[in-house]
Chain A
Amino acid sequence: MRTTLVKLAAGLALGAAITTSAFADKFPSKPITYIIPFNAGGESDISARFQQSAWEKYSGQPVVITYQAGAGGAQAWSQLNSIAGDGYTIMGINLPHTVLQPMMKDVGYKTDDLTPVNYFHYTPNAIFVAKDSQFKTLKDLVEFAKANPGAVTFAGSGSNSANHLAQAQFDKLAGIKTTYIPFSGTGPSVTAVLGMQTMAGFNYAPSGLNQGDAMRMLAVAAEERLPAFPDVPTFKELGYDLVGGAYRGLAVPKSASEETRKNISELISKINADPDFRKKMEAGGFVLTDIPYDKMQSFVEKKKAEYEDAAGLLGIKKK
């Protein structure tokens, strides 16, 4: 409404034709609202805050971050398509959440209802132990688990989450049986690892940074070693084909035009290429990806197939 009025007023002064094209060229012309479907302080929030510090440089407008937590993100995602599709309200979107949730139960949206336009990074899963843990290497842990089935406890964030999935996949790859203990978020689950309430943790790699040497990272589920943790081997190096974590991106309402989708996607890609942003994100243990709008469909299809496969391990049956 307001933009129409602005356009109208400007149009009277400068001539309608010129302004319309000027506005069309210049997206955004006002601040964009960026909804995080989780509480503040998690990886989604922190990566969005990193984007926020570079946002104005590339869009000419600030971005407003708001939180709409609930039901592991489902509350926000189920409302995404009822938001206006003008591109001024965008929402964070996560994998595997948006594949696993609708698979289990009617959560108010289907995976294909959502319109991701850019997946810009992922946080790889990693196995952590406390400094004083008996496990010095991943080998120690696997050997102990083989000798004591079920006795190794892994703290992780939430049930049926990326952490949970990784634990189930690792059990299968290593031929061991461990116990997954779900916590209500990354913070509490890292606390449990640090306090040795559990023997180890399946958390995201960035969690390792804040704790300094109080926590030891045994292996990380990335393709290559992370710049922030040059001494930590990948699972692949150690012979386990485990790569993955939580992927984060931006989604728009279904009603958004192709042009709006591309505009947002381009903006995110530009921020992703910013050297300062890259440095901060990589130092934070995030792994940058560049999956813009035109590569989105094949990426989501691939991930969907992978997660549907893995979901069987958690006992999730496709509805």
Chain B
Amino acid sequence: MELLGYFVNAITPINLLLALVGVVLGTIIGALPGLSATMAVAVLVPFTFTMEPASGLIALGAIYTGAIYGGAYAAILVNTPGTPSSIATTFDGYPMAKRGDGGLAVSIATIASVVGGLVGAISLLLLAPPLAKVALNFGPPEYFWLAIFGLTLISALSVGNTLKGLIGACIGLLMSVVGVAVVGGDVRYTMDMQALLGGFDVTSALIGLFCIPVIIDLVATRDPHLKITEGNQGIRLTEAVAVSLREKFNLVRSSIIGTVVGILPGAGGSIAGLVSYSEARRSSKESNEYGKGHPGGIIATEAANNATVGGGFIPTLVLGIPGTPPDAIILGALLVQGIKIGPTLFNSQGNIVYTFIFGLLIATLIMLPVGLLIGRYAYRSIINVPKAILVPTIAFMVIIGSYSIHSDVHDTYVMLILGALAWILERFGFAASPIVLGLILGKIAEQGFVQAYLIGNATQNVTGMFFGRPISLLIIVAAALTLFYPLIAARITPKKALDVELPASAEEEPRPEKPAKYRDPATIAIALVLILIGGLAIAGTSDMSPLGSVFPTTISIAMIVFCVLLILINLLRPAAQKVNTVGQSGVASPSNRRRLLVAALLAAWIIAIPILGLGVASFLGFISVTAVANHEDTSLLRAMMYGLVAAVIVGLFYLLMANVLLIRMPMGLFF
């Protein structure tokens, strides 16, 4: 057996050590929002120049797979996807953590990630050349329909609140067209701001939309961040294994979906997670529980996103076309090493390729003990750290995370502004997830649409281009099923479905039982503002090329129609007896004062970064947020302790960013 020989090559002590270190580093980096797998891999590349090619690749692969897995921690424990791949993990992971099952959720995520990673890597080992053909059969129309399929998840996610979900998606889709269009070249809706030329960065939007509302609401009350139930503090491994066995079909299906989506260049882990989430939800007998803390949701997402690692290497190694951004960097590293990629690689340089694939398999297996260990620690620290430290730490992560994307404070501003808007919208039932889905899928949908249209036009067969291709038809059927399934399900159990709420708005302090039953003036006001924005967006298309204006015009019209419907529905409802549902205790209540204060402090913190330097601004920001988040009487000793902790945390992460990840720091007065 030739393969066995390669396996022996892979398990040298140095390779095992590299795999272990890679997985640990990757997991930690992935867990921090904003610090991505791409960044970690890019930093490591120069070190691999001096290594054996296979060892270097193993280190890169290990860090990559670890980072994709690490994203689950932040998603589960603080409702912030550490990487875009784990967006769908927040849907069920955070509700689970809220009710005290955070340890279980982390263990389930670990098992799912390992299984998904193994399926992806084994596919790479055994089926790479035939699977690479899949990537080639995916043309522009297929990408367009795949994005539409992803968008249909919104209808499933927002049962009982579909209209607001759809409006949210339109907001996200409109945001996705901002900036210079790669396809068509139009410069759209930048309002003459250079910061918007590149459009809204998905990662900074993600951090803002998900995490800022959490921070704002965390400071409001003295209740602990996550509920702690007696005896549930551990990682509950046996329970997690039992759940995984029960969900075995889900696990395998999601791993396969992840592998296949990973093969498609440009689709990536976020879409893999979303597609398998929506499939898991649709085929589950307990689909009503999805979005409220069903372990199946975590299994689907985490299995799928780790499977994309192996899947993504298939086109990278077979076709020389990177499946994901980290693959692109690894491809570059291979070229520098003088390795020729392509169809002959598996034969001509089999020793390197197979040693690497076995290395990836080993790294994935190492993830199990490492993940459970780190997961246990992460969960413990999140539930045990007092709020006065937890809140500023999260705030600090969010700020450096959004800064690190481009070494640019503008991304941090965008993050905070979007976050504050998301918090307001969430109060009125507009959840963050549809907005994010729109933002991510909008670009793929639009590019696919424009390209398919252009090709169809050239071959004089536009209809056939969109509706005449077998894979497209398959995706259209799947999308239609997902879209109409909630309606069918609602017909079968009409009462139950109506109670399901959006995952993000279902949490937080208890709101009146059924607020939607009454006329809600605030919702009407938001709808009116959105109609105005839609109108302005349509007016703004006048100087665009015809193809550049199709998408924004369609979305704007859809958004206006949905908003008008929402207003009509609200007008038909009886006026509410109570004044409103929001500031139950009035705007000036102590908790709302804290909320406003923390938002203002975050703004001041970010403004201070280019002036004072990131280190000093963050230390001052950290201790002021500590003061706001602190609900206890504080002795001088405790205050000094907090000050010390702040200095250590800020110092450590400053060093990590400046000296390990080599991120360019802003030039301020100090450092």
Chain A interface (Cβ within 8 Å of chain B)?
Answer: 1, 33, 35, 39-42, 45-46, 49-50, 52-53, 62, 64-72, 74-75, 78-79, 84, 89, 104-108, 150-153, 158-160, 179, 181-185, 187-188, 190-192, 194-198, 209-214, 280, 284
Contacts and interface: CB of A to CB of B under 8 A. Distances in A.
Nearest to B323: A187
Given A41-B322, A187-B321, A210-B319, A78 B458 contact: no
A210 B136 contact: no
- Max chain B C-beta neighbours (<10 A), residue from A190, A195, A213: A195
Interface string B35-57: 00010001001100100000000
A210 B320 contact: yes
A300 to B, nearest CB: 23
30 contacts: A33-B664, A39-B328, A40-B326, A45-B328, A49-B332, A66-B663, A66-B664, A68-B408, A69-B406, A70-B201, A71-B179, A71-B180, A71-B199, A72-B182, A75-B406, A150-B458, A158-B183, A159-B182, A179-B458, A181-B451, A181-B454, A182-B184, A184-B183, A187-B265, A187-B322, A187-B328, A190-B321, A191-B321, A197-B140, A211-B342
B266 A187 contact: yes
Contact of A195 (B136, B198, B341): B136
Interface in B654-671: 662-664, 667, 671
Interface of B: 38, 42, 45-46, 49, 135-140, 179-185, 187, 192, 194, 197-199, 201, 265-266, 315, 319-322, 325-329, 331-333, 335-336, 338, 340-344, 406-408, 443, 447, 450-451, 454-455, 457-459, 662-664, 667, 671
A94 B137 CA distance: 33
A240 to B, nearest CB: 22
Given A40-B329, A49-B333, A183 B183 contact: yes
Contacts of A179: 454-455, 457-458
A198 B327 CA distance: 25
Given A74-B198, A284-B335, 5 more contacts: A50-B336, A67-B42, A69-B198, A187-B266, A191-B265
Nearest to B194: A108
Contacts of A188: 265-266
Nearest to B443: A184
Contacts of B138: 191, 195
Contacts of A190: 321
Contacts of A213: 343
A215 to B, nearest CB: 10
B343 A52 contact: no
Shortest 8 CB-CB contacts between residues of A and residues of B:
A41-B328, A210-B320, A70-B198, A159-B185, A195-B136, A108-B194, A197-B139, A71-B197
Contacts of B321: 187, 190-191, 194, 210
A276 to B, nearest CB: 10
A42 B488 CA distance: 47
Most buried by A among B45, B321, B664: B321
Nearest to A42: B328
A41 B331 contact: yes
B542 to A, nearest CB: 15
A40 B329 CA distance: 5
B179 to A, nearest CB: 6
Contacts of B459: 151, 153
